[in-house]
A and B are shown apart, each in its own frame.
Chain A
């Protein structure tokens, strides 16, 4: 392939400069690399690599979607874990090596398909290939004689082959031939399929760049959420090009939440009633709110965003009455520790009102912390036996002192700072189980009243501008694939040799041949039907085989002139496609294609 003989430029007698030769060699190398990259073999290997590379994503926990599982794995496998982590095995789909494989694959795909598309269009403009010399060697063939002359035979065939691409040609000695092709849609399907893959990948990429996902917990008591910026969320995952400004500023309120459970505790249905205003309404100061019933599998779609109901839990409401008569109400979500019974834990933290002295304040902060059971087992040790709010009870410690809220360290909203307890700066002043309406009175006369329980919902707001495009690409992909796997590309040939009194008994000899150009078998039946119409078996000739005429004609007709069935390899121009040798691609026998 590479030529080592540098071509001397015209009129230059001296040794050729090294440059052009080097350039040529580089070009040759580039061309060969390109050819190798866009070959079917490479595509196959890259595809296989893609599958293998995705395997750790199925076998090992992944940071998205399950970061906690990754942490567990890392603690369980202290030696292997960090090594795998280094290689990116816990974030397979974001690693450079995974990206390298699919990028190469898609380069190969484009490099393969663009030329193929052009070739296909060119192929559609050229006439069907001429009739092979020896039709008897094709996987499907039949032969018979007719009373009509060759022109009439070919005309009849042309009429019968409506919808096929047909070319009629003449051969010497008055022989007429007809070539027909059908099934170009298969190639179209194949191209649509592969190009849709490219479109799909682009759509996914756009979504990753311009999309975002944010989670937020909202109390289901009429509380409002506005999509005004990242700070509105409890957690936020921006796309590569999202900085959290310019989000669609729609708002909604969560008016209520309802869950029903089956007797065994399995959830039966979840739903929340929300009201919302889209960004325009918010900006126009429109006072009307649209109602929507949010449910699992039924998100709220507003502007370009979707709001999902992901989960729910309980928030006990406490009212603390201080000795001076002032009141504070605490309402924060407690988190479920057991999904089956919704036993929850949490810490409701309360700052005393009207205390301006910092030191004083740090001695009198309160925390109500412990367990909440929606359906309490009763007894001294509270646990939950059912997830619904049938018999709520909390088992709480009331702590007083310095909650450490000003220490500058981030604090979980579900727990108190254990460090403060260890240092003795936060002390327990009561431990009790109470039901709604119940009250704990502390040593200083402060009363902690358990008012009742609110529901909270955890919501996700998702934004993906390319989502619809991805769906359309996926539908095109499926359509293309189905076309390409169901349409058969096939060729059909007729050769009509004029009657020669001496050899054919005064009849035109009709030889038919057929070839399916694709892997998809099942041409035989159609060929059989065509053959039965275009060259019906003649009872007087086929004789004993009459009952099974179609197959009978597969035998050489004794009266056919020898050269009509002559075997020559010279003219085996049946198919020049690389991938369509008649042998493995076409099987003449699997043909009952019902």
Chain B
């Protein structure tokens, strides 16, 4: 199997550019955040098309737009400075996403396989999905734009680690990893992880925001975030989409393990951690339907779930050696 080194180095170049563009986008989002005033509740719901006037009784925070429709067809006020920063941030995020996508395509072409055969590529792909999921959220609910800096921050950290600590040259994978189940299983894992990253960010912000709502003196900066409800809902919807995908990833992983290692489940460290993460997210979904566990306890569980995912990616691949250690790290 020939690996095209020239092409591989273009991939590295694209990776660097994507990262730089993300950093710029994050800075712009941060500036927007710093310049903007606390969100008036109405803004959040301006796009709700229907029946917006009714929810107030079920919404003690008053964030439901009772007067939601007031300015929908009034002439647009001129864009504020903050808004212009934010919009540029979004444009840059889209650009970064394009570069990022190109990087993985190039990497895949260079190695003639799916471009997530080692930890560097896996992390990069997870970040790509996270940014992609974020752009989808933005498209549907532009009023959540203020989360931009907070979503991009973990993405940038992860990509930075991927590009430094985890970096490996383009290379084909060992025979055990060469199977179409690899493509299916790892792709599902990548997609689920990326979406769960978004859910984790939303839950962290939700928890901070709730502390602030309880005692306005604390975490005053969170006052500019979207309301706690909107954060909670974002986290839930992301998790509800990602959980079946994660389940699928675990099942296809078991199918692959059956073909490669002689058993569908063997409590290999990676399998164990994937199982734990799955159980924690099941806890989260349960908590959402258990009286007294909605809200803060559920969000805490979601954050724990994401911590387990990160642990799975780093600790298990690097420190623990199991059959799954395909990190491809030197040494």
Residue numbers of A with Cβ under 8 A of B are 40-41, 43-44, 47-48, 50-51, 54-55, 57-59, 61-62, 64-66, 69, 92-93, 136-142, 204, 213, 262, 266-270, 295-299, 306, 308, 310, 460, 462, 464, 467, 470-471, 474-475, 477-478, 481-482, 485, 514, 519-521, 524-525, 527-528, 531, 545, 547-548, 550-555, 578-579, 582-584, 586-592, 594
Residues of A within 8 A of B294 (CB): 584
What 1/0 mask marks residues of chain B from 66 to 100 whose CB sits below 8 Å from any chain A CB? 00110011000000000000000000000000000
**When the two chains form their complex, are residues B52 and A551 in contact, meaning their CB atoms are under 8 A apart?**
yes
For residue A477, which residues in chain B have a CB less than 8 angstroms away from its CB? 247, 251
Residues of chain A with a CB closer than 8 A to B316's CB:
58
Find residues 189-204 in chain B having any chain A CB closer than 8 Å to their own CB. Answer: none
A224 to B28, CA, bound (A): 69
Is B50 positioned at the interface, with any CB of A under 8 Å from its CB?
A: yes
Q: Are A55 and B172 in contact (CB under 8 A)?
A: no
Pick the residue among B240, B258, B276, B293 that contacts A55 (CB under 8 A): B276
Instruction: Decide: A44 and B251 in contact? CB cutoff 8 A.
Output: no
Looking at the complex, which one of A41, A47, A306, A471 makes contact with B255 (CB distance below 8 Å)? A471
CB contacts (< 8 Å) of B248 on chain A: these are 478
12 pairs of residues in contact across A and B, judged by CB atoms under 8 Å: A62-B267, A65-B267, A142-B51, A266-B171, A299-B262, A306-B262, A485-B243, A545-B69, A548-B72, A550-B51, A589-B64, A591-B48
CB of A462 within 8 A of CB of B262, answer yes
The 4 residue pairs across chains A and B that have the minimum distance between CB atoms: A528-B50, A554-B53, A588-B55, A583-B58
Once A41-B293, A519-B236 are accepted as A-B contacts, the answer to whether A524 and B51 lie under 8 Å apart by CB is yes
- The reply to whether the CB of B175 lies closer than 8 angstroms to some CB of chain A is yes
The reply to whether B266 and A485 contact each other, CB–CB distance below 8 Å, is no
Contact of A66 with B261 in the complex, beta carbons under 8 Å: no
Interface centre among B178, B283, B316 (most CB of A within 10 A): B283
Assuming the contacts A524-B49, A551-B50, A588-B58, asked whether A478 and B251 have C-beta atoms less than 8 A apart, the reply is yes
Q: Is the CB of A297 within 8 A of B260?
A: yes
Partner of A531, one of B51, B172, B275, B282: B51
Contact with A along B230-247 (1 / 0, CB 8 A): 100100110011011001
Instruction: Specify which of B1, B52, B176, B240 is in contact with A589 (CB 8 Å cutoff).
Output: B52
> Do residues A44 and B290 form an inter-chain contact, with CB atoms below 8 A?
yes
Query: Does B259 sit at the interface, judged by CB under 8 A?
Result: yes
Q: Chain B interface (Cβ within 8 Å of chain A)?
A: 1, 45, 47-55, 57-59, 63-65, 68-69, 72-73, 140-141, 171-172, 174-176, 178-179, 181, 229-230, 233, 236-237, 240-241, 243-244, 247-248, 251, 254-256, 258-269, 272-273, 275-276, 279-280, 282-283, 285-295, 301, 311, 316, 320-323
* Complex interface: chain A residues within 8 A of B286 (CB): 40, 43-44, 47
Residues A592 and B48 in contact, CB atoms below 8 Å apart: yes
CB-CB < 8 A to B266: which residues of A? 64-65
**Complex contact B50–A297 (CB within 8 A):** no
Q: Which residues of A contact B273 (CB under 8 A)?
A: 58
Contact of B247 among A140, A298, A481, A583 (CB under 8 A): A481
The smallest C-beta distance from A477 to any residue of chain B, in angstroms, reads 7
Task: Please tell me if the beta carbons of A589 and B283 are within 8 angstroms of each other in the complex.
Answer: no
Interchain nearest-CB distance for A42 vs B (Å): 10
Interchain CB contact (< 8 A) of B179 among A40, A268, A297: A297
Partner of A582, one of B58, B178, B283: B58
Interface centre among A262, A462, A519 (most CB of B within 10 A): A519
Contact A266 B51 (CB under 8 A): no
Chain A hits for B54, CB < 8 A: 136-141, 554, 588
Q: CA separation between A268 and B172, bound complex, in Å?
A: 8
With a CB–CB cut-off of 8 A, which chain A residues contact B181?
297
Q: In the complex, are the beta carbons of A41 and B292 less than 8 A apart?
A: yes
| Residue of B whose beta carbon sits closest to that of A299 | B259
A43-B286, A58-B320 known; A298 vs B52 contact (CB < 8 Å):
no
Q: Which of B236, B247, B279, B320 contacts A51 (CB 8 A)?
A: B279
A584 to B55 alpha-carbon distance, docked (Å): 11
Residue of A nearest to B65 (CB): A589
List the A residue with the shortest CB-CB distance to B328.
Answer: A266
Q: Which of B52, B175, B293, B321 contacts A296 (CB 8 A)?
A: B175
User: Do residues B141 and A137 form an inter-chain contact, with CB atoms below 8 A?
Assistant: no
The complex places the Cα of A74 from the Cα of B293 at a distance, in Å, of 41
Residue with the greatest number of chain A CB neighbours at <10 A, chosen from B240, B243, B295: B240
- Additional A-B contact list (15), CB under 8 Å, known A54-B276, A528-B49, A592-B141: A40-B290, A44-B283, A47-B283, A48-B280, A58-B269, A58-B320, A62-B267, A65-B267, A139-B54, A141-B51, A141-B54, A467-B264, A554-B50, A589-B45, A591-B48
Partner of A528, one of B51, B55, B176: B51
Contacts of B251 in A (CB 8 A): 474-475, 477-478
Contact B68–A213 (Cβ < 8 Å): no
The CB with the most chain A CB atoms within 10 A, among B63, B248, B316, is that of B248
Cα-based distance from A306 to B257 in the complex (angstroms): 13
Question: Given A54-B279, A485-B240, A554-B54, is A592 in contact with B47 using a C-beta cutoff of 8 Å?
Answer: yes
Q: Which of B69, B282, B311 contacts A548 (CB 8 A)?
A: B69
Q: How far is the CA of A547 from the CA of B176 in the complex (A)?
A: 61
Q: Is the CB of B240 within 8 A of A520?
A: yes
Residue of B nearest to A460 (CB): B262
Inter-subunit contact A308/B261 (CB<8 Å):
yes
List A contacts of B72 (CB < 8 A): 547-548, 551
What residue of chain A has the Cβ atom nearest to residue B323's Cβ? A65
A101 to chain B, nearest CB (A): 11
| Interfacial chain B residues near A552, Cβ < 8 Å | 69
Chain A residues within an 8 Å CB radius of B55: 139, 587-589
Say whether B287 contacts A140, CB under 8 Å.
Answer: no
Shortest CB-to-CB span from A494 to chain B, Å, is 14
The answer for the CA separation of A162 and B254 in the assembled complex, in Å, is 42
> How many Å lie between the Cα of A586 and that of B248 in the bound state?
28
The answer on a CB contact under 8 Å between A213 and B263 is yes
In angstroms, how far is the closest chain B Cβ from the Cβ of A302?
14
A126 to chain B, nearest CB (A): 22
Q: State the CA gap A138–B291 with chains docked (Å).
A: 21
If A58-B276, A299-B259, A519-B288 touch, whether A551 touches B49 (CB-CB below 8 Å) is yes
Whose C-beta in chain A lies nearest to the C-beta of B63?
A589
Residues of chain B lying within 8 A (CB to CB) of residue A551: 48-53, 68-69, 72
Shortest C-beta distance, A578 to chain B (Å), equals 7
Specify which chain A residues have a CB less than 8 angstroms from the CB of B69 in the assembled complex. 545, 548, 551-552, 554
CB distance from A28 to the nearest CB of B (A): 23
Q: Decide yes or no: A554 and B51 within 8 Å by CB, A55-B276, A269-B175 being known contacts.
A: yes
Whether the Cβ atoms of B267 and A64 lie closer than 8 Å is yes
B73 touches A297 (CB 8 A): no
With A262-B1, A298-B259, A548-B69 already in contact, the answer to whether A592 and B51 are too (CB < 8 A) is no
Once the chains are docked, how many angstroms separate the CA of A582 from the CA of B290? 14
CA distance A266 to B321 in the complex (A): 18
Min distance, Cβ B117 to any Cβ of chain A, angstroms: 12
Give the nearest-CB partner of B248 in chain A.
A478
A297–B178 contact, CB under 8 A?
A: yes
Q: Is the CB of A519 within 8 A of B259?
A: no
- CB atoms of B282 and A47 under 8 A apart: yes
Q: Nearest Cβ in chain A — how far from B327, in angstroms?
A: 14
Q: Given A296-B175, A550-B49 in contact, is the A588-B64 Cβ separation under 8 Å?
A: yes
Contact between A527 and B53 (Cβ–Cβ < 8 Å)?
no
CA distance A545 to B175 in the complex (A): 66
CA distance A92 to B275 in the complex (A): 14
Q: Shortest Cβ distance from A356 into chain B, in angstroms? A: 45
Interface pair B260/A266, CB less than 8 Å apart? no
By a CB distance below 8 angstroms, the chain B residues around A298 are: 259
